Each structure stands twice: as structure tokens, then as C-alpha cells.
A and B are shown apart, each in its own frame.
Chain A
């Protein structure tokens, strides 16, 4: 009950945010929401399934580029976002089939490899992706269903609500997913692959499902980016971008549902605070990573929920 109230309060706060704050905080909040979606998907793979992927930025990139490509041809926001998610889902299904042949370090290497393949296409395939210039002039197209409604998106506030609705929906679906038999099965596989296989669980199929969902969430986060920024550039697909959901998840907590969301919030807050004092904020982030790995592997959420380190 207390939890439900908290969540309702949070949703109300986020919904009313444009009335209180300026464009900058709104812009930051959109980025926090995008990273939350990105990190949630990553954590399904890492925290719930036990597979550390270093290639999630590849799927983020696919979502972003696909959405941008669609918007450059058809100015329909809904089509762009859903199209981006669909393409990212398809790509992650295909690459998932290949990646889940391995676990542990080989899985990390293989996903790193696939992610960098996507990056190298974005970077070099000039005709398709605009090369290192990226795609520019992507319109923040109106949200419309022909014959039903049409909402102009020119104002940042309007687009904020689109991102918010997509995020709440996606987070709600994610919550249902991990608390369903699917979520429990994935954790079972993480804890003991052999045991899971012995009770008749198809370990490969479940890993593939997990991989694809993670790709869908990365793709959604990616697809929501181009209408905000009006451009897409190759670094969104680079492996160092894959590290962002990893860091956010580590910050917030790996084995908790809310960990990646809290972590994404902290990630941007830390960044925003530290860059006010020094341009060298990455060194601080690096030190935080060391401290977290050595001392607080449960992340911030577990410190407060007192579940402790597992």
C-alpha cells in the first residue's frame, strides 16, 4: 500500500513537472527516463539472467537510426518510435540467436563484437547512416493517428509527455514481466543453469527471450532520442555508450527492480553536480565504480531496502 502511494506520488510529480521547472530540467528528465529504459532492459539480461552484455548500445543505435530514417521519410512520431522499436527487436532477436550460444566472458565479448559491428556500420556506411556526420534535420513530427487526433510536438513540454507515457507503460510492463513466471525462470537460470535445465526449462529459449526484450528496451530508449535531439550520430552505438546502463545499474542495484531507474537518476545527478566543480567528472565516476564493486555490490537501493548483498 505504502509502495503504491509512493509510485502514484512519483507519477503525479513527473506529470506536473513541466509546470514547475524550466527546459533544462525537463531535458535532463527525458534523458534520465531514456537511460532508465535502457538500463532496465540491460538489467533483465544482467541482474535477472546473469549475462553481462557490452553491446546494448548497438540496439540503442539501431532503434535511434531506424526511428530517424522513418521520420525523415514519414513525419509521424508514433510510426517512427514504434518502427524503431520493431527494427531493434528484430535485430536483437537475430543477434540473440547467435549470442546466447555463450555465457560468461565469451558472451560479453560476443555482444561487444556485435555492438561494435553496428557502430562500424553507423560510422562508415555513409550512404545509409550519414557516416560520422550522422543523420541531421530529423523532425519532431506531430503525434497523430490519421482521422483521430493530431498533437503538435514543437514544444519540449509536449514531447516530454510522450516520453513519460512511453516510459511509464514500458516500466509497468517490465514490472509485470519480472514478477511473472518468466522473471522467476530467468532468475532460476541465473542461479543455476544446470538445475533449471534439469526441471525441464529450455535455458536457450529463455535466454533468447531475455536478450530480445533487453534489445527492445534499448531500442525504445534509442527511438525516443532522435525526435528530442533532431540528430543521431554514431557514438550512440559505441561500446562506451553500452557502459552507461552498466554503470547506472551498478549504481542503483543489480538484483532489484528499481535499481536501474534509481541508478539512472543518480548517474545524471552525479554528472550534473560534479561538472559544476570540475570537467573531470569521469574520474569521480571511476572512483565510484571502484567503491561500488569492492564494497557495495548491491547498489544504493539495497543499502536502503536492507536486503543486503547477494
Chain B
């Protein structure tokens, strides 16, 4: 019983990385209508930038995360301005293909700059150590991650429900032309939303740096999980993405413990069932 409860906690901390990744993906899809295949690569870039600033150059941990967000934000800005902008009117297939091209580019670019070897920087000292939870040791860092995930959820909710910018974003998500007609600057807003989504992905990647492996290819691995989550929660649905991330995170933690052979398979079964029965997602209308 205690093992199960503890494993749930482990799953929850895993879920928070997935949530940060899926949140940006689903926001970008909801507003821009583009399913960004390269979103996982932005997560990876966030991790690499954080590794460089914090692990290599010894910049303060928090400041390194901030710098990493800004750097990925610039990458996102260029990506949207130079490329995505030109394909909004095209079939979704081309949008998937274009963003897929970015996966190839980012993966190889990362290998060129940082080499193909996985990297793990040291943990910031103030996060070292463990908690005793249910008679077991739980890393303090995981507690911090869970807190950060919930905090981001709260901030996003406030941002989208309570601010002027959030209202403009929601308006353009539900009716692009109407929003444009009442004075929302759609092209600028799209750039802003894309950069925002990219920074969320980078935050997930950067926060994971001290405990997760930083290696080429983590983006491509993460994007599939992000797809699963956003599909379960409903494409474009932020609340759904949070619940989906918790479901997938906790479920993987349990199934690694209970039936390791079919862990991955099971998650894809859930995704397939949701897609077939309720393609708009658990929280879709």
C-alpha cells in the first residue's frame, strides 16, 4: 500500500515535466492550429542551454534557467517569423512535415555544438538531500518540481482567465477572423503565443537538467509522450493537458512497477481508445 502511494508521488514528479511540455504544445495548437512536431526539440534545447549556463559556465541556477528560457524564446521567435508564418494556410500535413524538418535540424545541431554524449550537471546544493515520505526517501528536488508544476498551472490559469492578453489569446483561438476584426493584431499575437509555448517547453527542459539526462534525441522521445497527453486531454485544451500529464506520469510510474513489459504499450492503448471513442479528448466539448 505504501509502495503504491510512494510510486504515485514519483509519477507525479514525472508528470510535471510532461505537463510543462504538453502545456506549450496544446496552447500553440489551440491558437495557431499547428501541431508542432519540434516542440520536444525546444524542450531539449532548453535543457542544453540550461546545462551550458549552469553546468558549464557556473551561472547561478535560477539565472541559468531564465537565460535558457530567453534563448529558446529567441529560437521560437525566429522559427515562427521565418518559417511557420508561411504555412498557416497550408494543409496540416505540410505543417507536420515542416516542423518535423526542425526535429532533424535541432537534433543534429545539438550534436554539432555539444557532442553526442549524454550530460548530467551537478545538483544545486540547496536542492540536495531527501525527504522521508511514508518511510522512504524522496528527493527534495522532486518536491520542488511538483511545486513548480502546480505553480505554472496556477499562473497559466490566471494569465488566460484574468488578463487582457489571455482574453485576446482565447478570442483568437475561438475565432481568428472575428478577433482580427475587433482589433487583435493576429500576426503579432501568433508570434507571442509561439514564443510563449517554446519558453514553457524550455522551462520543462531546463528544470529537468540536474536530474534527467541531457542528450540528443530526448526531444523526439518526449514529443510522443506530449502527443499522447494532449490527445488524451483534448488538443488545445489546457486543463486537459494537465490532467493528461498526471494520468500518463502516474500510470507510467505504476506500470513500471507492476507490469514493466507492457508499460509503453498500455499508454498507447489508452491514447488509441481516447482517440477512437472521444477524439476531442476527455475534456473536449
Interface residues of A (CB under 8 A from B): 46, 52, 54, 98, 101-102, 104-106, 108-110, 112-114, 116-117, 120-121, 123-126, 239-240, 243, 246, 250, 280-283, 285-290, 293-294, 297
Contact = CB atoms under 8 A, between A and B. Distances in A.
B268 A120 contact: yes
A285 B97 contact: no
A286 B102 contact: yes
Nearest to B268: A117
A160 B202 CA distance: 48
Given A102-B275, A110-B275, A282-B107, A294 B112 contact: no
Contacts of B98: 289-290, 293-294
Contacts of B231: 109, 113
Contact of A112 (B102, B104, B227, B265): B227
Contacts of A101: 276
Nearest to A51: B93
B112 A283 contact: yes
Contacts of A250: 97
Interface residues of B, number: 41
Nearest to B230: A109
Contacts of A243: 100
B87 interface: yes
Interface in B39-96: 83, 86-87, 90, 92-94, 96
Contacts of A289: 97-98, 100-101, 104
A35 B94 CA distance: 21
Contacts of B103: 286
A124 B103 CA distance: 26
Given A106-B275, A110-B276, A120-B264, A283 B83 contact: no
B22 interface: no
A124 B107 contact: no
B261 A113 contact: no
A52 B93 contact: yes
B134 interface: no
B105 A286 contact: yes
Contacts of B111: 280
B84 to A, nearest CB: 10
B215 interface: no
Nearest to B267: A120
B224 A283 contact: no
23 contacts: A52-B92, A54-B96, A98-B276, A102-B279, A108-B92, A109-B271, A110-B275, A113-B268, A114-B272, A117-B272, A120-B262, A120-B268, A124-B261, A124-B264, A240-B220, A280-B108, A282-B105, A282-B107, A283-B109, A286-B104, A287-B101, A293-B101, A294-B87
A252 to B, nearest CB: 14
Interface string B225-255: 0011001000100000000000000000000
Contacts of B112: 280, 283
B275 A293 contact: no
Contacts of B268: 113-114, 116-117, 120
Given A120-B268, A286-B105, 17 more contacts: A54-B96, A101-B276, A108-B92, A109-B231, A109-B275, A110-B276, A124-B260, A124-B263, A239-B224, A281-B108, A282-B104, A285-B104, A287-B101, A288-B101, A289-B104, A290-B98, A293-B98
B272 A113 contact: yes
A287 B112 CA distance: 15
B97 A286 contact: no
B17 to A, nearest CB: 19
A290 B101 contact: yes
- Closest 6 pairs between A and B when the two form their complex, measured CB to CB: A289-B101, A286-B104, A286-B105, A283-B108, A120-B264, A52-B93
A116 B268 CA distance: 7
Contacts of A110: 272, 275-276
A281 B108 CA distance: 8
A227 B276 CA distance: 37
A294 B83 contact: yes
Contacts of A285: 101, 104
Interface string B266-280: 001101100110010
Contact of A113 (B96, B235, B271): B271
